Homo-oligomer: A and B are copies of this chain.
Amino acid sequence: MSAQPVLIAGRWRASQASGTFRADNPTTKEPLPDEYPISTWQDCDEALTAAVDAAQTLRRAPSETIAAFLEAYAARIEARKDELVAMAHAESGLPKAPRLSEVEFPRTTGQLRQAAAAAREGSWALPTIDTKNNIRSVLEPIGPVCVFGPNNFPFAFNSAAGGDFVAAIAAGNPVIAKANSSHPGTTRLFAEEAEAAARQVGLPAATVQLIYRTGHADGERLVSDPRVGATGYTGSRNAGLKLKTAAEAAGKPIYLELSSVNPVVVLPGALEERLEEVTGEFVGSCLMGAGQFCTNPGFVVLQKGGKTDAFIKLVADKFRAAPVGTLLSKAVEKTLTESVATLVRAGAEVLAGGKPGGGQGFSFGNTLLLASGEHFLQNHAALQTEAFGNSTLFVVADDLEQLCRVVDQVEGSLTGCVYSHRGGADDAAYERVAFHLRPLVGRLLNDKMPTGVAVSPAMNHGGPYPSTGHPGFTAVGIPASLRRFGALHSYDAVRPARLPPLLLDKNPTGKTWRLIDLEWTQRNV
Q: Which residues of chain A have a CB within 8 Å of any CB of chain B?
A: 56, 59, 123, 128-130, 132-133, 135-137, 139-143, 244-245, 248-253, 412, 415, 430-431, 434-435, 438-439, 442-448, 454, 456-460, 462, 464-466, 469-474, 477, 480, 483-484, 486-495, 498, 513, 515, 517-521
Contacts and interface: CB of A to CB of B under 8 A. Distances in A.
Contacts of A143: 439
A470 B137 contact: no
Given A253-B471, A442-B488, 4 more contacts: A128-B457, A130-B454, A462-B488, A471-B488
Contact of A489 (B460, B498, B519): B460
B133 A448 contact: no
A483 B471 CA distance: 11
A109 to B, nearest CB: 19
Contact of A459 (B252, B444, B490): B490
A446 B495 contact: yes
Contact of A445 (B438, B439, B493, B520): B493
B492 A457 contact: no
Contacts of A128: 457-458, 480
29 contacts: A56-B435, A123-B520, A130-B454, A130-B458, A133-B454, A137-B459, A137-B480, A245-B248, A251-B465, A252-B465, A253-B470, A253-B471, A431-B498, A442-B488, A442-B489, A443-B489, A443-B491, A444-B490, A444-B491, A446-B495, A447-B493, A448-B493, A457-B515, A457-B517, A471-B487, A472-B484, A472-B486, A513-B520, A520-B520
A470 B470 CA distance: 12
A133 to B, nearest CB: 5
A244 B248 contact: yes
A166 to B, nearest CB: 16
Select the residue from A448, A458, A469 with max chain B CB neighbours within 10 A: A458
Contacts of A443: 489-492
Given A252-B465, A430-B498, A520-B520, A458 B490 contact: yes
Contact of A136 (B252, B431, B458): B458
A9 to B, nearest CB: 21
A215 to B, nearest CB: 23
Contact of A458 (B133, B439, B456, B464): B133
Nearest to A503: B458
Contacts of A249: 245
A113 to B, nearest CB: 14
Pairs of residues from A and B, 4 with the lowest C-beta to C-beta distance, nearest first: A251-B465, A520-B520, A460-B490, A471-B487
A123 B448 CA distance: 28
Select the residue from A140, A488, A521 with max chain B CB neighbours within 10 A: A488
B472 A253 contact: yes
Contacts of A132: 456
B136 A434 contact: no
